Structure formats: C-alpha cells, structure tokens
Amino acid sequence: MHTLTLAHLYPAEMSVYGDRGNVIALRQRCVWRGIELQIVPVNPGDQVAWGTMDLAFFGGGQDSGQALIARDLLERQGVGLRNAIEDDLVLLAICGGYQLLGHYFLTHAGERLPGLGVLDIHTVGGKQRMIGNSVVEAQLAAQTVHLVGFENHSGRTFHGSGVRSLGRVLVGSGDNGEDRVGGAVYRNVYGCYLHGSLLPKNPQLTDHLICLALQRRYGPHAQLAPLETNLELQAQQAMLQRLL
C-alpha cells in the first residue's frame, strides 16, 4: 500500500471559506484508491521534517492571520520548505497562503509582510475587495480544465518573469483584476485565489496533485487508479453553466 504525507500549514490561522476542504478532498481521493494520506498540522513553533513530506497545503486567511504566522513561516520553516520545493514538493496554496509564497504582501493598512519568495510574485492590498465566483482556464499536464471557485481578497498580485501563470481568468478578478492572470505555478507549487473549497469540485486538479506526489515518491511508473467522478464533475459543470 502506498503512503503519502501532507503538511497542513497553519490550519488555525489560515483556513477561511472552507479551505480545509482541500485537505479532506485530497485524503478522500487517496483513500478511495487505497493510498494512505497522513496529515501533519504545522502550527507556529513546530519543527517540520520537510524532507519527509510529499504534499503541503497552505490556505487563505485574513490579513491579521497572515501577520500572525508570516514570521514563523519565514524564519522557522523557510530553509526546509524552500529546499523541499526545489526538490519538487507538491504544494497547493490558496489566496492568503499564495500571497505569502511571493516576495511580500503589502496590506491595505500599510503593513509589509515578507513572504517566502519561492514564487516570483508580489501583492499589494487595495481598498476595494475582489469578491465573487471565478473560473480559471488552466492547463494541467496535457489537459485543459476550467477550475471553478470563489474569491475574496483585497490583495492584488503581480507576476515577475520567474513564474508561469496557472491559467487565464474567464470569470472574476483573478490575481489583480487587470491582466486576467489566474494563479501561478513554479515546479510543483500551485497557487491561486480560488476558495470554494477548490479541490472537492475540481477533481482534475486534486488528482493532478496526488499523481505528482505519488510519482515523486514511488517513481514515474506509479499510476493513479481511475475513479468514478460523476458527482464532482456535475458540481463543476453546474457552476460553469451558471457562470459562462
């Protein structure tokens, strides 16, 4: 039986709009395939053996929640987490977590929160929040997928040349409300603004992340067993029909 381990970054401070549903979806789609997914919560002050991790999840949070953990992220987890990312750790980050993987987040109140700097992005808070349903057309391996989600952020995220975008925003504001960029990808790190939760209703992305982690741990021949996914795809389709 295959086993994978997931680090859930700061679940108490960084889990808005049901983001922890992403961890549940990852675990359930593993369980259905006979893969055990161990979940390790990472709280401020914890030492983490990043070399043993296969996946990580970093959810969204209020500016105040981000301020509580930004220093721990940088100073305690920084070196280990950065090394793991360079070693292709699979990481999904949503909204506030996504912002803190960039160079910095300047909040609308003027507080500058330094980020991990693994994504070549920076974020500047504005007065107006970007709120609503969203659709991002993303390329996952060879597959085009319309990711559906919900966004609520004041931060506007801008990309540098060292990162590629996850996809194109078809509905909603996306990273900054200006250039239709929706999310970023670096190695096996995926970041975007889509709450929802994202993974339960976008099973293509859930399986993409599990597959990356499985092959990183067990080799390129490790395959994901196919799963019946009708209900999840119906949920995704219902939102696409409503929004597009």
Q: How far is the CB of 175 from ligand GLN (least distance, A)?
A: 11
Residues with Cβ within 8 Å of 136's Cβ and at least 6 positions away in sequence, in order, are 146, 147, 149, 166, 167, 168, 169, 170, 172, 174, 182, 183, 192, 194
Q: Estimate the crossing angle of helix 203-218 against helix 230-243, to 10 degrees.
A: 130
95 classed as catalytic: yes
Interface pick for ligand GLN out of 10, 57, 61, 184 (rule CB under 6 A): 61
Our CB check for ligand GLN shows the closer of 38 and 152 to be 152
**62 vs 133 by CB, closer to ligand GLN:** 62
Residues 127-156 that bind ligand GLN (CB under 6 A): 152-155
Instruction: Report the nearest approach of ligand GLN to the CB of residue 171 (Å).
Output: 17
Active site residue 195: yes
**Closest CB to ligand GLN among residues 123, 204:** 123
User: Is 60 near ligand GLN (CB under 6 A)?
Assistant: yes
Which residues, 6 or more positions from 28, have their beta carbon under 8 angstroms from its beta carbon?
none
Nearest residue to the partner ligand GLN, using Cβ: 60
Least Cβ distance, residue 205 to ligand GLN (angstroms): 18
Q: Measured between alpha carbons, how far is 184 from 34 in angstroms, rounded to an integer?
A: 31
Closer residue to ligand GLN (CB): 65 or 167: 65
Choices 2-10, 38-46, 56-64, 171-179 (CB under 6 A): range interacting with ligand GLN: 56-64
* Sequence-ordered list of residues with C-beta below 8 angstroms from that of 146, at least 6 positions apart, any chain: 135, 136, 137, 138, 170, 236, 240, 244
Task: Say if strands 121-140 and 104-106 run parallel, antiparallel, or are unpaired.
Answer: parallel
Maximum CA extent, the chain: 50
Q: Are 176 and 156 in contact (CB under 8 A)?
A: yes
Query: Residues near 31 by Cβ (< 8 Å), separated by ≥ 6?
Result: 37
Q: Which is nearer to ligand GLN, 125 or 167 (CB)?
A: 125
64 C-beta neighbours (distance < 10 Å), count: 11
The catalytically annotated residue of 8, 122, 146, 195 is 195
Whichever of 37 and 135 has its CB closer to ligand GLN, that residue is: 135
Question: To the nearest whole angstrom, how small is the minimum distance from the Cβ of residue 54 to ligand GLN?
Answer: 24
- The yes or no reply on residue 16 touching ligand GLN (CB under 6 A) is yes
Q: Give yes or no for residue 38 binding ligand GLN (CB under 6 A).
A: no
**Residue among 30, 95, 153, 159 flagged as catalytic:** 95
Q: Return d(Cα 45, Cα 76) in angstroms, integer.
A: 7
CA distance 72 to 25: 27
Determine which residue in the list 21, 96, 102, 174 makes contact with ligand GLN, applying CB under 6 A.
96
Binding site for ligand GLN (CB under 6 A): 16, 60-63, 66, 95-96, 125, 152-155
Which residues are annotated as catalytic? 95, 195
